[in-house]
Amino acid sequence: MAASDRSNEELTAEVEALRRQVEELEVDARRYRAMVDNVALSVQVCDAAGRVVEVNRGFERLWHLSLAAVHGHVILEDKQLEPSGSLRGVRHAYATGEATRLPAIRYDPRHTEGVSDGSAGWVASSIYPVRDDAGRLVEAVIMHYEIGELKRSEEELRIQNEALEAAVAARTAELSEHLRLLHAQQQSLRELSTPVIRLWPGILALPLIGVIDAARATQIMENLLSAIVHHRASQVLLDVTGVPVIDAEVAAHLCQTVGAAALLGVRCILVGISPTMAQTLVELDLDLTRLATAASLEDGLRQALAQRSPTPRG
């Protein structure tokens, strides 16, 4: 009687253990179904040879394909997966049994051999090999995560960036053109502010008006020397009637201009000096021995004509 009781207790324990195992399997099965049966995730199951044997509703919704359209398709030979490196990942998972994340890819079922239907989509994928108790790979579950919205956002951002770059380039070109025109206008103004006038063959006049700073002094010298060469001049009248103040800096600039002209064999006559200017030049104690002077432009021209060579250079 005791032996019979022990047998019943052992049987009851085994039944209870089996019941718990069944409950655990039911939990696993419910979890698997909850994942596979939803439409938010695309799932396809391939056998040990890589042939598609099962898909879920999420797969049908994403790719607009039924199981019948892809049944038997061998994913291990899908050339459309090769450029992105996904095919290498699939083969790695099958060879090692390791779960593998696959690169994002734009997949189009219509470009797959044996499939003529469906629609394209951007997906990120993972493959999960399934083994039996002996460790043999019996199937693989592939999950696709749709990232079409993300890719569209990236494409929109790329287009916006390209449009912004084009706008910046156009604006830069516009500003460059404005700067070029501004420089051209400034050059014209500088030339107008230092006009060199041909009064007589071989005789030029340079009327100076306004403040003379270092930049303008350089422009004056350049314009004058170019005009001397162009007109083959031998004398130049520097008219300072319109210069408000002659200080040490201005006087130095004038002396440099006269010295440069002298190197070209040209005689300079300073005209239009006011009494205040004359006093300033004396106080500055500058060497003006190379510089002739005249009270007015008319007097300076008479002086230049009197000094003119019988056979003028131009």
**pLDDT score of 98:** 94
Angle at alpha carbon of residue 52, lines to 23 and 142, rounded to 5° = 60
CATH 3.80.30.20 fits 194-307, yes or no: no
Matching CATH number, 37-146, of 3.90.1300.10, 3.30.450.20, 1.50.10.10, 3.40.50.720:
3.30.450.20
Phi/psi for 82 (5° steps) reads -70, -50
Phi/psi for 120 (5° steps) reads -80, 160
User: Rounded to whole angstroms, how far apart are CA atoms 11 and 123?
Assistant: 52
**pLDDT score of 54:** 92
305, two tokens: 């004509």
User: Exposed e or buried b for every residue in 66-98, given b needs 16+ CB within 10 A?
Assistant: eeebbeebebeebebbeeeebbebbbebbeebe
**pLDDT score of 113:** 80
**pLDDT score of 314:** 42
3-class DSSP assignment, residue 83:
coil
pTM of the model: 0.44
Angle at alpha carbon of residue 260, lines to 257 and 264, rounded to 5° = 135
8 Å CB contact between 268 and 262: yes
- Residues of the chain with confidence (pLDDT) below 50: 1, 311-314
Indicate the DSSP class of residue 274.
-
**pLDDT score of 46:** 95
